Amino acid sequence: MEEIFRTWDDQDALKAHLRMIWDEVNIAYYAGKYDIEQTMDKHQFLDFAESVYKHIEWRYYNGSHPSHYRGMDLTARKTSFAGKCRRWLGFEGEWVYTIILNYRFYVDWGWVQMMDTVLHEIGHMTCWNHDEEFWQEGRRIGYGLEMPGWKPRMAKYRLYCPHCDYEWLYLSKPRNSRCGSCYPNWEEWYNGSKEWLLIQKNTDPDKLV
């Protein structure tokens, strides 16, 4: 899968859009009590980010994102990412998603940049890889800011399916999983081959995440 990294040509217009979404959430969910220039504590930040998710569902996905969403949390350790969308296969072969955010990056960057991060991770619930379809979704709902000091990083690990030749790239070692395309039904897989995807170290510098 080719990885494409794209930002909006008009960064000021995107920042204005993200600020507008923030204002909508602040008014609709909190009666305008927050000031975007004041730093929220961790609880307030996470609660506001959850409200952003609900608002984006209402605004762009007819009130409910088609994917199975299980909530949002803060990373419990120092990491190099501002946000991450994680997924695993449910019992019926469906992908289940959570979104992890980094409070430290919010403190450094502020809300407009983190709004882009939240929407970026919501975009991964629709299009997992950084491909053309993913960035088309970014054009639609509004993500694609340049990140301060950010650049794509070489993947350290990959999950690989030898049957369909598909791979998933990671910065940290992933957990065992089955291939949802080759084994869509969890019960049949469990009672049958129980074959896991291969966890391999990545040595290709062109494979980025």
Residue 82 above 80 pLDDT? yes
Share of the chain above pLDDT 90, in %: 44
Q: At 1, is the pLDDT very low, low, confident or very high (cuts 50, 70, 90)?
A: very low
CA–CA gap between residue 123 and residue 129 (Å, rounded): 10
Q: Give me the pLDDT at residue 149, please.
A: 55
Domain boundaries, the chain: 11-148, 153-209
CA–CA gap between residue 4 and residue 151 (Å, rounded): 12
**What would the mean pLDDT of 52-59 be, rounded to a whole number?**
94
Q: What's the distance, Cα to Cα, between the start and end of the chain in Å?
A: 12
- Given the DSSP bridges, would you call strands 167-170 and 157-160 parallel, antiparallel or unpaired? antiparallel
**What would the mean pLDDT of 133-144 be, rounded to a whole number?**
91
Q: Give me the pLDDT at residue 209, please.
A: 66
**87-134 confidence digits (pLDDT tens):** 888 777 778 889 999 998 898 889 999 999 999 999 999 888 888 888
Contact 69, 156 (CB under 8 A): no
Burial 52-70, CB ≥16 within 10 A → b, else e: bbebbeeebeeeebebebe
**20-44 confidence digits (pLDDT tens):** 999 999 999 999 999 999 999 999 9
Task: Write phi, then psi, for 8 (nearest 5 degrees).
Answer: -65, 145
Q: Give me the pLDDT at residue 96, please.
A: 87
Give the lowest-confidence range in 145-149, 159-163, 195-199: 145-149
Task: Write phi, then psi, for 59 (nearest 5 degrees).
Answer: -75, -35
What's the burial of 142, exposed, middle or buried (CB within 10 Å: 0-12/13-18/19+)?
A: buried
Mean pLDDT of the chain: 86
Q: Give me the pLDDT at residue 3, please.
A: 46
Beta bridge partners of 68: 96
**159-196 confidence digits (pLDDT tens):** 999 999 988 888 778 888 888 888 888 888 888 888 99
Q: At 16, is the pLDDT very low, low, confident or very high (cuts 50, 70, 90)?
A: very high
